[in-house]
């Protein structure tokens, strides 16, 4: 190709010009996506024939279907970006009205009240299975995502070992309820373990963060990743303390017993999901409110300042290390808190719940919902976790309406989540419920405002 084109004057430049054409590049991208889709949804591999799955996936009608999907997607994306301006113009008026309405505190409060009412009635509309999902998958992960959002979204730190603090919370609960091989000095109800677990997780966060937060951001990601692994490995191997990979059994559920002089009233959360759901709802709403207040305070603004421009933040009297550590510790405590809830709801824990992939999953929830958006964390947890469970439950079952089987393999779930995340990064990097500040930052970065700066590189002491 190169030879024949080089023979014609201007040949290669022509090709290059064509390639520079935006729509063509996009079409090629979508076609590539189509091929990927064909491979992903193609037949399973055969042992001894390494090329079987790929060659069969790229054969015949299946590939054509996927390529057509790619072309259709391309057409949609072209139409979308062309239509965007006119649609934007047409929507400007109603959008502005919506925004002014949203500025009214009463409207906002009303909206949140309606949502709360929905959340209260939601579990009544579903069966036991989904009630369990609402607690174990959605509720607890919403709490985890809220905490991680403080670290990632507010302070802009990448924590890849977040689940380690969750494990610390869960194992602290197991310890104080005497379900581990080591015995505590006193046994207490999981409710009363909460302060201990929060404190333990916070301490671990401070010990881990204090030395590493002084370094540049990338080191923190690596150190936290390592810390997450260490905690899991410790949990597996410290047989005499953690009971190894078998874990702890029979962790009691939450219960309240008023002293006898107050009537001796007693309530136990028990094994059914509903009471736990309402408990979690209460905790989640409380934490949402607390973190919202935190975001709009001196501390929250200091985090934004550090995230945007650390040098300028310091010039405003903000000590970056102290504030990063604060975010890290608050995130860790939230994770530890969620660990207590998890341990007492499930009643048994083992190291397999605390792997790196759980950390990544929580990060996905945060990014999906919208970094720096508290409400987004809850929505992200609800949507992604629901999707996971839906696919797992209905694997092999026909989808209503179209009466076809779901072409998704449960083992491939994470792959789809990865693809979803990539699409999000392309089309909606601010997440589904974006925070106003983050959205502004992203649009500014796209327009080249801020970011690169001459003095940003060598802060610190010069060579001696």
**Where along the sequence are the contacts to another protein (CB under 8 A)?**
290-291, 293-294, 297-302, 304-305, 308-309, 311-320, 326, 330, 437-438, 440-441, 444, 449-450, 453-455, 459, 461-464
Q: Nearer Cβ to another protein, position 56 or 437?
A: 437
Q: Tell the smallest beta-carbon distance from residue 370 to another protein (Å).
A: 14
Q: Which residue has the tokens 């002014």?
A: 100
Q: Tell the smallest beta-carbon distance from residue 315 to another protein (Å).
A: 6
Distance CA 143, CA 206 (A): 20
Q: Tell the smallest beta-carbon distance from residue 91 to another protein (Å).
A: 21
- Enumerate the β-bridge partners of residue 267: 256
Structure tokens at 358: 């759980």
| Cβ 164 vs Cβ 227: under 8 Å | yes
408-446 CB burial, b ≥16 within 10 A, e <16:
beeeeeeeebeeeeeebeeeebbbebbbebbbebbeeee
Q: Tell the smallest beta-carbon distance from residue 461 to another protein (Å).
A: 4
Q: Nearer Cβ to another protein, position 145 or 318?
A: 318
Q: Nearer Cβ to another protein, position 132 or 320?
A: 320
Q: Tell the smallest beta-carbon distance from residue 224 to another protein (Å).
A: 21
**Three-state SS letters, 303-355:** HHHHHHCHHHHHHCCCCHHHHHHHHHHHHHHHHHHHHHHHHHHHCCECHHHHC
Q: Nearer Cβ to another protein, position 280 or 439?
A: 439
Which DSSP category does 261 fall into?
G
Neighbours of 456 (CB within 10 A): 11
Q: Tell the smallest beta-carbon distance from residue 373 to another protein (Å).
A: 14
Structure tokens at 319: 């000590």
Q: Nearer Cβ to another protein, position 62 or 301?
A: 301
Q: Give the SS3 label for residue 170.
A: helix
Q: Tell the smallest beta-carbon distance from residue 139 to another protein (Å).
A: 21
Q: Nearer Cβ to another protein, position 42 or 320?
A: 320
Q: Nearer Cβ to another protein, position 85 or 103?
A: 103
Q: Tell the smallest beta-carbon distance from residue 440 to another protein (Å).
A: 4
Q: Nearer Cβ to another protein, position 34 or 331?
A: 331
Distance CA 439, CA 427 (A): 13
The runs of H, that is alpha helices, within 348-394 are 356-369, 374-393
| Cβ 329 vs Cβ 209: under 8 Å | yes
């Amino acid at each position: 190709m190169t030879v024949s084109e080089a023979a014609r004057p201007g040949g290669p430049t022509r090709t290059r010009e064509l390639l520079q054409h935006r729509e063509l590049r996009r079409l090629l991208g979508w076609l590539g996506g189509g091929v990927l889709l064909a491979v992903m949804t193609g037949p399973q591999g055969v042992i001894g024939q390494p090329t079987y799955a790929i060659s069969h996936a790229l054969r015949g009608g299946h590939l054509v279907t996927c390529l057509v999907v790619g072309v259709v997607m391309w057409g949609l994306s072209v139409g979308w970006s062309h239509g965007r301006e006119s649609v934007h113009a047409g929507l400007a008026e109603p959008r502005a009205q919506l925004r002014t309405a949203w500025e009214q505190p009463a409207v906002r409060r009303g909206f949140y009240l309606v949502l709360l009412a929905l959340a209260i009635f939601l579990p009544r509309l579903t069966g036991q299975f989904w009630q369990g999902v609402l607690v174990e998958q959605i509720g607890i992960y919403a709490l985890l995502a809220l905490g991680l959002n403080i670290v990632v979204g507010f302070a802009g730190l990448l924590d890849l070992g977040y689940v380690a603090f969750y494990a610390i919370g869960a194992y602290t609960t197991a310890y104080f309820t005497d379900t581990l091989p080591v015995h505590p000095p006193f046994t207490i109800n999981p409710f009363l373990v909460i302060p201990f677990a929060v404190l333990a997780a916070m301490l671990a966060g401070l010990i881990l963060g204090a030395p590493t937060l002084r370094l540049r951001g990338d080191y923190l990601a690596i150190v936290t990743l390592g810390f997450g692994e260490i905690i899991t490995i410790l949990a597996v191997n410290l047989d005499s303390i953690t009971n190894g990979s078998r874990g702890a059994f029979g962790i009691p559920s939450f219960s309240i017993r008023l002293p006898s002089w107050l009537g001796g009233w007693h309530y136990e959360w028990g094994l059914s999901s509903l009471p736990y759901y309402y408990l979690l709802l209460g905790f989640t709403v409380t934490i949402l409110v607390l973190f919202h207040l935190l975001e709009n305070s001196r501390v929250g603004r200091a985090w934004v300042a550090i995230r945007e421009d650390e040098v300028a933040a310091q010039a405003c009297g903000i000590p970056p290390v102290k504030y990063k550590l604060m975010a890290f510790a608050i995130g860790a405590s939230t994770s530890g808190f969620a660990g207590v809830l998890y341990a007492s709801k499930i009643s048994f824990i083992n190291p397999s719940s605390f792997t790196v992939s759980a950390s990544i999953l929580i990060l996905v929830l945060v990014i999906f919902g919208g970094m720096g958006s508290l409400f987004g964390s809850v929505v992200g947890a609800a949507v992604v976790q629901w999707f996971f469970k839906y696919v797992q439950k209905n694997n092999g079952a026909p989808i209503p309406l179209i009466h076809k089987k779901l072409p998704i393999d449960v083992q491939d779930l994470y792959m789809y989540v990865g693809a979803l995340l990539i699409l999000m990064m392309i089309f909606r990097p601010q997440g589904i419920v974006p925070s106003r500040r983050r959205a502004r930052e992203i649009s500014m970065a796209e327009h080249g405002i801020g970011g690169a700066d001459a003095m940003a590189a060598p802060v610190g002491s010069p060579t001696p």
